Chain A
C-alpha cells in the first residue's frame, strides 16, 4: 500500500515521529550514549583542578574558630616560605588583582615610572568571584591581592597568600600601630601581620541628599534631620523617601546595619542562643523595608547620591568622599551630601594588600606594597594619599591630620579632598576600639544569613 507523503513518506529532519527506529538502533544509540558519559566525565575530571580543599591541623583549627577581637588568630606559615631578604625586584609585569575602580590609575603610572616595569590591573566585582578565580583557575599569575577579613584565613591556610617579608616593607612604620603586627600591638585576625598590610579603612553608615536633585519629585531630608532622630537608621524605613531609598547590595552590610539599628552589637551573630531570633527579626525588617520604601539594592552609592537616583542610601564612607567627582555638570553646589555613622557601635572595617603565591614577581610585589604605604606626616603627602585623593578611602596612616584633608593642605592636592560636611567619612584609629567589624562566619552561620537575605531578594 502506497503511503501519502503526509502519512509517512516525509521524514522530519530531527527524526521526530520517525517510526523506523527499530529496537536494534535504539539499543545501539543508547549504548553509545552510555559509553560516552564515562569517557567524557573522565576527560572533564582530568581537566579539573579543584577537587575540594582539605585543611587539617593548625589551619583547620583556624577555620573552625574564626578570628574575633577576643579570639586573636595567628595564621600558620609552616610550609609556606616567604622570599629571602635583599633580593632585586623582578622585571614584571606586575599583576594586581583588585576590586573594580579601587586604585588610582595615577599611582599605577607612578609605580611603573619609578620601577621601570609594567603593571596590569585585573579586577573582580565580588569576593566570591575572586575566590573562584584564585582557587580554580590554573593559569593565573596574579602577584598582589586586596582581601578582606572575610576570606583572609582561608587564603592563608591554603597557602594562596605568601607570608610577607617585612624587611622590604620599610614604610610599614607609617601605618597605625595596630597594623604593624608588633608583639605589643597586632591585628586580631592576623597576629604579627604576617600576611597583610592595610590598604584602606572605612565605616558603613547612612548618606542623604539635603536638596531636591533635578528630576526628583521630592526633597531629601534636611542636614540635621537624620542625626536628630532617636534612631537615625530609621530614616531608611521612612516612607517619605519611598522610591528614593537604596541599600547596599551586600547581605552582610545590610543585615549588619539592621542588627545595629536593633541595638544588637553582636554583628557576626556569634551568640548561638540569639542568632536565629536576631536573623528572623532582621529578615522581617527587610521585608518591611521593601513595603515601606520600595527599597533598591545596589553598590552604586557613589553615583546614585550625586546624580539624585537616591536621596537616602546606606553607604560606605569612602564612596561618599569620592561622590563629589560624580555630580552631573549642571550641579553647581556639590556640598549637598551628608553622611552619618554612629560615633560608637558603628560598622567599621578595613581592606588589605597581600602577596599571592600564584605570581612570578614576589619581590616586586613587596616593593609595590611598600610603595603604597608611602606617607609623609609633615604635609599629609605620599603615595597612599594620592590614592586616597582618587578613591576616597583613607589609608590608616599615623599622623593624618583630618582638618588638613578638609582644608586642602598638602602639596599632593590642588583642592580640598573632603567636603567639610563629610568629616564623618574619615574614621580614626580610636573608632576601631568602639566599632564593630563584619568578620568571617562559619559556613553554617553564613547559610542562615543568606537565607534571610534570599527572602528579601525574592519577595521584594
Chain B
C-alpha cells in the first residue's frame, strides 16, 4: 500500500499492538499528539492565571465573610462554605426584592441607558469616518489611520482631565457657546449629557478601528456588481455595504460597550454626583467601604458579568453566521 513516508517514521519505533500510532501530517512529517495543542498553552495559562483565577477570587470574596474585628473582607475559598447573603442583598438592592429598597436600581438603569446612547452615537460618528478612510483614503490611508490611533497615545485619564478644564464655567466650550449666543452651561455639575459625551469621546477610537477593518475587507466587486445591476449609490450602501459591515459594527459595539459598562472614572471626573453614578461607581464606592462593602463590590462585579453574558452570546451568534 502506498503511503507517504515521514521523517519521524524512519526513526520512530513501530507502534505496539493496542497503542495508537503517532499522528502524521499528509506532507509526511510526524508530530506527537501534544504538538499542535501545545501552541495554545500560553493563551491557556494566561486565561487561567489572569481571568479564571481572579474570577474565582472575586466569587470567593462575594460569597465570603467579614473579619469580626477589622470589618475587612475574608474570602471563603471552599464553595461548600459559601454564603449567598451578600449576593442576595445586592440583588435585592437592584430589583427592590428580599425586603431591600432598590437603591442600586437607578445606577443600573442609568448605566444601561448611558452605554446604549454613547455606543450608538459612537457608531453614528465613527461609521462615516471609517467608511471614508476605507473607501476613499487612497494614498493618505496610513496618515488617516495614524491620526485615528493618535488619541491612544494620551492616557484616558489625561484626556478626561483635559475635558474638565475645557468644560469649566469659563472654559473654552462655554466661551465658544457665548460667542454664538448661548448662555453659560454648568457642564461639570452633575449633568448626564457631560458624562455621555465623555464616554463617547473616550471610547470612539475603539469603534473606528474595527469599523475600518470591516469596511476595508468588503469586496469592492460586490458593490460594483450592485451598481452594474442598477442600484443607486444609496441603495448599494443600504443593501450591500451596511449588511456586510454588520459584524464590524457589532464588534465595535462590543469593544466600546464592555469597558463603558465598568467605567467609573468618566463620571467621577466629569460629574462626581450621585445622580450620574454608574455601576462602576457603585463598585468603586463599595470597595472603599468597610464591613460587607468589598463583598458587595465583588457581587456587583459578578452581576455585571452575568448581565453581559447575553450580550456576548448575541454577538458570537451574530458574527458566527455573518462573518465577512
Contact = CB atoms under 8 A, between A and B. Distances in A.
Contacts of A48: 75, 77
B104 interface: yes
Interface stretch (B193-201, B232-240, B284-292): B284-292
Interface string B159-170: 000000000111
Contacts of A5: none
B74 A294 contact: no
Contact of B70 (A41, A45, A154, A457): A154
Contacts of B282: 458
Interface stretch (A86-94, A222-230, A448-456): A448-456
Point out which of A44, A125, A129 has the most chain B C-beta atoms below 10 A from its C-beta. A44
Contacts of A446: 71, 290-291
A132 interface: yes
A447 B65 CA distance: 15
Interface string A84-127: 00000000000000000000000000000000000000000111
Nearest to A286: B274
A50 B79 contact: no
Interface in A44-67: 44-45, 48, 50-55, 63
Interface in B268-324: 272-277, 282, 285, 288-291, 293, 316-317, 320
Contacts of A416: none
Contacts of A63: 69
Interface of B is mostly: loop
B57 interface: yes
Interface stretch (A173-181, A209-217, A260-268, A272-280): A209-217
Interface string B185-208: 010011000000000000000000
Nearest to B313: A16
A308 to B, nearest CB: 9
A454 B72 CA distance: 18
Contacts of B74: 50-52
B104 A217 contact: no
Contacts of A128: 72, 288-290, 293
Interface in A414-460: 443, 446-447, 450, 454-460
A52 B189 contact: no
Contact of A460 (B68, B77, B275): B275
Nearest to B281: A457
Contacts of A127: 290
B291 A459 contact: no
B111 interface: no
A158 interface: yes
Contacts, number: 125
B296 to A, nearest CB: 10
Contacts of A14: 316
A460 B289 CA distance: 18
A195 B44 CA distance: 50
Contacts of A170: none
Interface residues of B, number: 44
Contact of B277 (A44, A151, A215, A460): A460
B184 A217 contact: yes
A189 B112 CA distance: 48
A297 B276 CA distance: 13
Interface in A279-313: 290, 294-298
A450 B103 CA distance: 13
A216 B104 CA distance: 33
A409 B57 CA distance: 57
Interface string A155-182: 0011000000000000000000000000
Contacts of A151: 70
A44 B77 contact: yes
A440 to B, nearest CB: 11
B273 A294 contact: yes
Interface residues of A, number: 54
A450 B277 contact: no
B170 A215 contact: yes
Interface in B62-104: 65, 67-72, 74-75, 77-79, 103-104
A53 to B, nearest CB: 4
B310 to A, nearest CB: 14
B56 interface: yes
B245 interface: no
A20 interface: no
Given A53-B69, A63-B69, A458-B104, A45 B77 contact: yes
Given A215-B169, A294-B273, A456-B274, A53 B77 contact: no
A446 B291 CA distance: 9
B106 interface: yes
Given A52-B65, A296-B272, A37 B285 contact: no
A131 B77 CA distance: 21
Contacts of A456: 274
Interface in B38-74: 53, 56-57, 60, 65, 67-72, 74
A38 interface: yes
Contacts of A45: 77-78
A157 B68 CA distance: 13
Given A12-B320, A446-B290, A298 B272 contact: yes
Nearest to A244: B189
Point out which of B107, B289, B293 has the most chain A C-beta atoms below 10 A from its C-beta. B289
Contact of B273 (A53, A158, A215, A460): A460
Given A14-B316, A459-B274, A460-B277, A52 B190 contact: no
A243 interface: yes
Contact of A447 (B168, B186, B291): B291
Nearest to A157: B69
A457 B289 CA distance: 12
Contact of A53 (B56, B68, B79, B285): B68
Contacts of A455: 103
B293 to A, nearest CB: 8
Interface in B254-279: 272-277
A345 interface: no
Contact of B78 (A41, A53, A217, A447): A41
B274 A458 contact: yes
B99 to A, nearest CB: 13
B171 interface: yes
Q: Which A-B residue pairs are the 8 nearest by beta carbons?
A: A460-B274, A215-B170, A41-B77, A243-B189, A53-B69, A44-B77, A460-B275, A45-B77
29 contacts: A38-B78, A41-B60, A41-B77, A41-B78, A44-B77, A48-B77, A50-B72, A53-B67, A125-B288, A128-B72, A128-B288, A131-B72, A135-B67, A135-B72, A158-B70, A214-B170, A215-B168, A217-B169, A294-B190, A298-B272, A450-B289, A450-B291, A456-B274, A458-B106, A458-B274, A458-B277, A459-B103, A459-B106, A460-B276
